[in-house]
Amino acid sequence: MKKHYNYLVLICVCLGTTAMGLPFFSYGSLLPYLYSFFYSNGHLASQASMALQPVLILLCITLTGSISGILELYMNVRLLNLILSVVYVVIIACAYFVDTITVMCVFSLLLGTMGGQIVVVNVARLTEWNSSKSGQANGIMGFFMGISGFIGSTMCTSVINPHNAEQKELFLNNSANSSIVVFTDKYVLEHTQDIWLAWAGAAFILLLPGVFILRPPTPEEVCEQNMILSGDSFESVELLPRPKKASVEDISAMEMLKTPKFYILYAIILILSLVLLTSTELYKFIGQEAISDDKFLNVVGASGAVSNAFGRIIWGLILDRFGTRATFTVAFFLQGPLTVTLHYAKWNSYGYLANIVICTFCVGIFTCIAPACQELFGKKDLALKYAFTLSAEAFGCVLFYMMQIGQSHHLFGELGFLIMMGAPSLVASMMAFCFFK
């Protein structure tokens, strides 16, 4: 058992990551239900205010994820993991009582903050127990993070709308004679809150094994694992020779901040966050204008989550083989037009499904950020380099929400919004091709 403890750690980390991803990667399925629920309670919220919820979660994951890394210096690691897991499950369960958009924003901040801590703890344990194969282990973990969206979307269908009730167009009594599309089915409105209890139960089950198993290895165990993993195996055999990469200067994180290439990568990651939020969180709002089949839209979200999960692994393998330049150029060149054409693809159900599946597959390149930092700037201070680069997502979240406000105030339509989300990806593709060598 001790000899292969690293595999138990990998299983627990994958389960914990799935639990962390349930609220964020399933929010796209939940948003229209919450929108209808708040409206039925007399708390009318705009689409922009609803889209703020996953933005807040991602912001907190990005900006507060290092807190648990600091706490580990002063606390027993197993105790910290227990506290984080319990608090996280309790927060999800307490969201059952939320009935206004303002309180929901507070809970989104809490969910993002706790989710960020769990991710950091999981990644730390995974790296400690799989030091010589951390890239492969993180790829597997990223796969399960994507799978969380499939589980959450499926749960939304089974708990909230098992009878596939349709949304209705309601005309508002105002001077603009505008209308909104909401669920009016009594069953849907009565069970919208129940999804939080279902997610809390699922998160509890998924996090429970890690509470007992996850712990840092002792120095003796580190040596033993390195001996096991350093042996020859079938996985280490190269069927095709890898192209030799030019050596890169191994610079520090502070020196990286002085290079133009870092700011090119920073801009590219900011652009990636725009497509990520659009394709994973707004796909249902975009599609419901033309597709009234709510169960099918949840299938679209679940399929996109599975595609994203496989994309996280496959893009990592492609980057290892062909490098950052080729990988980023191709991925961004594909996802840009796909995001823009969502406006037209939704008028054909299966065309919309294919569009979302391919687009979310391309967004799986998110897991290539750390390998790109290593290839472009070297291994020195890699964690700090990754943290600096990942902070671009925070600015991407702010820009995404500003564009959402503009759309909600009719400054531009859906097509204009999607152009602003997707067109920068073509610029990112050209930047990667021209500046990454």
- The pLDDT value given to residue 15: 94
Q: Does the residue 437 lie in any domain?
A: yes
- The pLDDT value given to residue 170: 81
Same domain, 181 and 317: no
Question: Which of these three, 159, 192, 227, is where a domain ends?
Answer: 227
Same domain, 121 and 220: yes
Question: Which of these three, 227, 259, 292, is where a domain ends?
Answer: 227
Same domain, 263 and 407: yes
Same domain, 201 and 283: no
- The pLDDT value given to residue 234: 39
Q: Does the residue 432 lie in any domain?
A: yes
> Do residues 96 and 26 touch, judged by C-beta distance below 8 A?
no
Q: Does the residue 235 lie in any domain?
A: no
* Residues 6+ positions from 234 with CB-CB distance below 8 Å: none
Give the residues across from 168 on adjacent strands: 182
Q: Does the residue 232 lie in any domain?
A: no
DSSP string, 299-336: HHHHHHHHHHHHHHHHHHHHHHHH-HHHHHHHHHHHHH
Alpha helix stretches (DSSP H) within 41-100: 47-64, 67-71, 77-94
- The pLDDT value given to residue 48: 81
Q: Does the residue 349 lie in any domain?
A: yes
- The pLDDT value given to residue 233: 43
Q: Does the residue 244 lie in any domain?
A: no
- The pLDDT value given to residue 3: 64
Same domain, 17 and 71: yes
6-24: string of b/e by CB count within 10 Å (b at 16+)? bebbbebbbbbbbbbbbbb
Length of the chain as a residue count: 437
- The pLDDT value given to residue 222: 65
Question: Which of these three, 227, 257, 276, is where a domain ends?
Answer: 227
Same domain, 267 and 407: yes
Q: What is the mean pLDDT of each run of 10 residues along the chain (437 residues)?
A: 76 92 91 91 78 90 79 85 95 94 93 88 78 68 88 94 90 68 92 97 96 83 60 43 58 90 94 93 90 92 92 85 91 96 95 96 87 84 78 90 86 93 96 90
Q: Which amino acid is at 125?
A: R
Number of domain units in the chain: 2
Same domain, 208 and 339: no
**Which CATH number is 37's domain given?**
1.20.1250.20
Helix (H) or strand (E) holding 348: none
SS3 state of residue 101: helix
Same domain, 417 and 378: yes
Helix (H) or strand (E) holding 238: none
Same domain, 131 and 218: yes
Q: Does the residue 133 lie in any domain?
A: yes
Same domain, 214 and 296: no
Q: Does the residue 237 lie in any domain?
A: no
Same domain, 284 and 163: no
Same domain, 209 and 303: no
Question: Residue 293: which domain range?
Answer: 249-437
- The pLDDT value given to residue 225: 57
pTM of the model: 0.82
> Do residues 422 and 336 touch, judged by C-beta distance below 8 A?
yes
